[in-house]
């Protein structure tokens, strides 16, 4: 099993959700996040005082899938979240040892 | 008693009361989310303690018969003794006048809190307010607001009577007074941790705009109510208050467009307040066209003046000096030029301008010096400043055992 984590632009979230649903992904965890990469931040001005705001709002998506589905999920997210401009985000994949469904106690693939 | 005057002053008093929560929101939105309850509580505490001090000693110090030289009122109204429901001040019941005047002081001391937001011990503030009311606000209110009675039997303060400076609703007693008292406290309490290094972003600008709107609403009572009558002067004050607030917004935004090429919502809210501050002393003596000049000038000058704290390195957190101190001076001096009766532009010569400058300068120096001494005494005894780790982790939690918001999820807590 694999954990696919994606950090994307907030305004692309709806498109990514729809694309993942169309690709058959049944569940995910989503959080509002802050961060920056090459995009860095931006400047804000309050009563004339300029502040460099380094953290940019992002959406973080986490999906646990079968090994075989990981590639599809990554390409689905990448395709839906891409604008071609700086700040589009990152997607990464890491292996998962165990999964337990809390309600039934089922484990691993049958718990997904 | 005049029922029309009384009805209007009752309504005005209620309007001015709303300025306290208005100010609390105006200030509350400007601070970081970890200290919003503290600054709102500083304002609400002023609303609680000021009236009690006013009933006991403040009112008689401000409006009792002058003890000599126009410096302070006598003690005949200690505990409001001798005042009954049928006692009159002018054409209105004295009880209404007592409360109306009281609320001016509530706002004034509430304004001072903005200079030391984010870092003052609440207990120190609790001690500071009543002392400041007695040593600073009540005497200055006497100088400015206590007029000699028509028959000469009751004497008032030196600015209103001997000097003859014009201050309709408190450019000196409220605005310059709060601004330079705030400067003194900001110096005593010291700069916030992270001053000039970390961003102090306002955490809720919609609250700032709401607060500015409520203040404007209340200011109609503050200024038009200061006519103490339902008459043409109240109407003049009303229209001038409107004109100056509008022009203040445009004046502030003009500075921003030149400097940043954008207009900010924070700037618009601040410009409205700057315009309202400057028209406070002048709303009864300038024309509606004059009010546009007063407001536009105040908006532009205050937008510049809030930068002074970076140059001179005092941390007036919420710009009480730049908006209320400087805005008050702009309004007081503008009278010398634009007053339709005595102003320079209306052929009045330099005499009135000189009186306005003297009144402003004396109140500025008195407020700064006496507040500095009170602040120093409190700082040397109980301490005025919270510990550094309290300031970093959040003064709300440490001083009030509360936090304003429940932070769930990842990003929302990262911005501070």
Comparing alpha-carbon positions, the chain B residue that sits nearest to A35 is B411
Determine contact: B264 vs chain A, CB below 8 A: yes
* Continuous segment of H or E residues that includes residue B326: helix B326-338
Closest CA to B114 of A60, A47, A12, A15: A47
Q: What is the pLDDT of residue B415?
A: 41
- CB spacing of B306 vs A34 below 8 angstroms: no
Contact B8, B186 (CB under 8 A): no
Q: What is the interface pTM, i.e. ipTM, of the complex?
A: 0.81
Chain A interface includes B415 (CB < 8 A):
yes
With beta carbons less than 8 A apart as the criterion, state whether B261 and B34 touch: no
Task: Name which of A31, A46, A58 is nearest B266 (Cβ-Cβ).
Answer: A46
B226 at the A interface (CB within 8 A)? no
**Per-residue confidence (pLDDT) for residue B79, from 0 to 100:** 98
A45 vs B410: CB contact, 8 Å cut-off?
Answer: no
Provide the number of CB pairs (under 8 Å) joining chain A to chain B: 48
Among A23-32, A38-47, B318-327, B354-363, where is mean pLDDT lowest?
A: A38-47
CB A6 within 8 A of CB A91: yes
Indicate whether A23 pLDDT > 60. Answer: yes
Phi-psi category of residue A13: left, alpha or beta, with phi > 0 → left and psi -120 to 50 → alpha: alpha
**The pLDDT of residue B416:** 39
Among A31, A52, A53, the residue with its CB nearest the CB of B410 is A31
Token digits of residue A71: 């590639």
pLDDT band at B407 (very low <50, low <70, confident <90, very high): low
Angle between helices B205-224 and B3-30 (to 10 degrees): 160
State mean pLDDT over B22-27: 98
| CA–CA separation, B159 and B146 (whole Å) | 9
Chain A residue closest to B268 (CA)?
Answer: A47
- The answer, yes or no, to whether residue B45 has pLDDT greater than 80, is yes
Q: Is the pLDDT of residue B174 over 80?
A: yes
Number of residues written out for chain B: 416
Query: What pLDDT score was predicted for residue B410?
Result: 39
Distance of residue B409 Cα from the nearest chain A Cα, in angstroms: 6
Question: Does residue B408 carry a pLDDT above 60?
Answer: no
- pLDDT beyond 80 at B300: yes
Mean pLDDT of B72-83: 97
Q: Encode pLDDT of B230-281 as tens digits.
A: 999 999 999 999 999 999 999 999 999 999 999 999 999 999 999 999 999 9
Q: Across the interface, do B201 and A46 touch by the CB < 8 Å criterion?
A: yes
Q: Are B390 and B399 in contact (CB under 8 A)?
A: yes
Site from A29, A47, A52 to mutate, B interface, most B CB atoms within 10 angstroms: A47
**Nearest CB neighbour to A33, from listed B270, B307, B410:** B410
CB B403 within 8 Å of CB B34: yes
Q: B358-376: per-residue pLDDT in tens?
A: 999 999 999 999 999 999 9
Give B416→chain A minimum CA distance, Å.
11
Cβ–Cβ contact B303 with A under 8 A = yes
Q: pLDDT of B113-159, one tens digit each?
A: 999 999 999 999 999 999 999 999 999 999 999 999 988 899 999 99
The per-residue pLDDT for B84 is 97
CA A33/CA A13 separation, integer angstroms: 12
In this complex, is the C-beta atom of B202 within 8 Å of any C-beta atom belonging to chain A? Answer: yes
The closest CB to that of A47, out of B199, B266, B410, belongs to B266
CB contact under 8 A, B264 and A55: no
A46-85 tens-digit pLDDT: 998 888 888 888 999 999 999 999 999 999 999 999 999 8
User: Residues of A with CB below 8 A from B307's CB?
Assistant: 48
Q: What is the mean pLDDT of residues B208-228?
A: 98
Would you call B409 and A32 a contact, using CB atoms and an 8 Å cutoff?
yes
Chain A: residues touching B (Cβ < 8 Å): 31-34, 44-49, 51-53, 55, 57-58, 60
Are A55 and B319 within 8 A, CB to CB? Answer: no
Contact (CB<8Å) A32/B264: no
Mean predicted confidence (pLDDT) in B57-83: 97
Helix locations, chain A, DSSP H:
13-22, 70-81
Residues of chain A in contact with residue B199, where contact means CB-CB under 8 angstroms, are: 49, 51-53
At residue B413, the pLDDT reads 40
User: Across all residues in chain B, what is the average pLDDT?
Assistant: 95
Share of chain B above pLDDT 70, in %: 98
Contacts of B57 by beta carbon, 8 Å cutoff, 6+ apart: B78, B134, B138
């Amino acid at each position: 099993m694999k954990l696919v984590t994606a950090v994307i632009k907030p305004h692309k979230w709806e498109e990514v959700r729809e694309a993942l649903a169309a690709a058959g992904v049944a569940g995910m965890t989503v959080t509002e996040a802050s961060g920056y990469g090459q995009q860095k931040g931006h400047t804000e001005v309050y009563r004339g005082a300029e502040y460099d705001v380094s953290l940019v709002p992002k959406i973080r998506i986490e999906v646990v899938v079968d090994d075989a589905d990981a590639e599809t999920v990554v390409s689905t997210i990448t395709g839906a979240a891409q604008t071609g401009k700086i700040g589009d985000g990152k997607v990464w994949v890491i292996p998962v040892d165990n999964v337990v469904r809390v309600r039934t106690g089922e484990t691993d693939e049958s718990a997904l | 008693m005049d029922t029309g005057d009384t009805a209007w002053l009752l309504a005005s008093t209620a309007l001015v009361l709303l300025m306290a929560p208005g100010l609390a929101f105006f200030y509350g939105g400007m601070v970081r989310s970890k200290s919003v309850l503290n600054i709102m509580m500083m304002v609400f505490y002023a609303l609680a303690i000021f009236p009690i001090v006013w009933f006991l000693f403040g009112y008689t110090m401000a409006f009792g018969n002058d003890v000599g030289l126009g410096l302070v009122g006598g003690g005949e109204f200690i505990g409001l003794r001798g005042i009954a429901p049928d006692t009159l001040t002018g054409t209105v019941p004295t009880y209404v006048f007592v409360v109306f005047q009281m609320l001016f002081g509530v706002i004034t001391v509430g304004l001072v809190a903005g200079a030391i937001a984010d870092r003052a011990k609440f207990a120190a503030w609790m001690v500071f307010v009543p002392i400041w009311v007695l040593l600073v606000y009540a005497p200055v209110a006497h100088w400015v607001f206590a007029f000699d009675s028509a028959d000469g039997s009751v004497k008032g303060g030196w600015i209103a009577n001997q000097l003859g400076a014009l201050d309709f609703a408190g450019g000196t007693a409220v605005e310059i007074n709060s601004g330079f008292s705030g400067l003194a406290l900001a110096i005593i309490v010291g700069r916030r941790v992270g001053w000039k290094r970390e961003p102090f972003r306002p955490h809720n600008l919609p609250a700032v705009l709401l607060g500015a709107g409520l203040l404007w609403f209340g200011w109609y009572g503050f200024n038009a109510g200061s006519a103490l009558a339902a008459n043409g002067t109240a109407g003049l004050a009303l229209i001038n208050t409107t004109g100056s607030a509008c022009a203040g917004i445009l004046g502030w935004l003009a500075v921003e467009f030149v400097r940043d090429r954008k207009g900010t919502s924070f700037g618009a809210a601040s410009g409205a307040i700057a315009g309202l501050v400057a028209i406070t002393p002048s709303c009864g003596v300038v024309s509606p066209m004059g009010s546009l000049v007063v407001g536009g000038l105040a908006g532009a000058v205050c937008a510049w003046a809030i930068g002074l704290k970076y140059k001179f390195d005092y941390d007036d957190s919420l710009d009480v000096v730049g908006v209320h101190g400087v805005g008050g001076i702009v309004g007081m001096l503008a009278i010398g030029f634009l007053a339709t009766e005595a102003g320079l532009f209306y052929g009045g010569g330099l005499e009135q301008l000189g009186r306005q400058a003297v009144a402003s300068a004396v109140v500025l120096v008195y407020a700064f010096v006496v507040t500095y001494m009170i602040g120093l005494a409190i700082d040397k005894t109980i301490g005025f400043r919270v510990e550094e780790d309290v300031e970093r982790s959040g003064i709300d939690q440490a001083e009030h055992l509360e936090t304003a918001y429940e932070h769930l999820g990842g990003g929302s807590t990262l911005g501070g």
